[in-house]
Homo-oligomer: A and B are copies of this chain.
């Protein structure tokens, strides 16, 4: 790594520490240095193993036991970033990163976050920085438009949107709204009787949010899904489960429908689920964390058909809309339910604008009081790329996933485990690849073989993928979505898979 541009220049460009806590000219000078550091990082990103190879505890050995008493130069610190931090990174922005779902960085997202950090205002209520609140109102309406969300989720339709950091935070807030709305009706002593519904494919965030909110974990339902329905939550099963809970004297509260599950991007049938939920007065939250972004393309929009029946909707632009971490969009039809659960009105925050009720005070739409000027980043992304290019970026990922899928299908040793809808390809070495080699081969061993394959791919440093287990099947997930990924990386990644598969099959 001695050839990274930063290292050449470091000793020339600075040797003294920063002298002031905040000074425009120092910020300019060192800001340019860090921009160059980051640009160089991206130039060199393919040189690093995607999955970090460090061992637990590696960093304590590199760094002193306590903070320095005297200031240190930025050049020294950046050298340590290069020498000690970069090797400990798993490179999410590598074009060879296919794990989890991507966290899509972009030039515009980076610039937007620089502005947020540079202005460093706090937008807990309108008056504390009106632009922070108003721009958020505006971009949330823009995004709602792009997704063709019904008017009832727009501010102009008496709904509204807010930027959170994560889905879990958003679900805590919406479920608190649902819980308190219900308990106001039936009495708070019934908290222990409330029931929350998802499927066995719903993100673990639903369970975590339920735990935090004091839902009795015996009343948390992870309804079983099956391969025959592509791991989607069945409306009939939901109805049966609700009926059975009602018979037990429990109170159905909240159901989370997922558009694009984490394991396999399964699509819960939104319209039918909302229909069932409505019958029983159950709050419907739609989690479109990953696939929501795709719905800005007309050809994918149908996946959220029925969203007009939901009470709240989230998706994460940090996953697939090029904002970088962390950004979760939440819309609700009934903001006053949120505000009733989350508002506090301490004296020190009272002001004329809030009293007038003409403004949004986002502190009452989230867990924290304080909040950054989150909307700037989203605004820069939307404007810098325009809807046209954002659609193009998403389509190019889907196209690359089709390429990868095609490569898998052409190789008889492999199989696609579930149909591909977006940019995630779920595949594995086929049981038949084992059986063909050994008539007595155990099919049960297939999971172990695929697990070995995954480890081998990731140990190569040339690609990083993760796994899922659905219906007892261990599968490899090739999640295409890193901003820098191009067709050639897909072809390379498939070559890595094939090479390691052959080595493993040779041993079995």
Contact = CB atoms under 8 A, between A and B. Distances in A.
B34 A32 contact: no
Interface in A35-52: 35-43, 51-52
A435 interface: no
A443 interface: no
Interface in A388-414: 388-389, 393
A228 interface: no
A337 to B, nearest CB: 13
Main secondary structure of the interface of A (DSSP, over half): helix
A131 B21 contact: no
Given A22-B483, A110-B31, A117-B114, A77 B383 contact: yes
B120 A103 contact: yes
Nearest to A124: B100
Interface string A1-35: 00000000000000001101111111110111011
A30 B347 CA distance: 43
Contact of A121 (B59, B90, B346): B90
Give this chain's copy count.
Answer: 2
Contact of A107 (B18, B127, B166): B18
A506 interface: no
Contact of A68 (B17, B31, B386): B386
B129 A89 contact: yes
Nearest to A327: B370
A441 B347 CA distance: 26
Given A134-B58, A386-B68, A393-B21, A204 B26 contact: no
B24 A31 contact: no
B39 A27 contact: yes
Contacts of A386: 17, 67-72
B388 A70 contact: yes
A50 B17 CA distance: 31
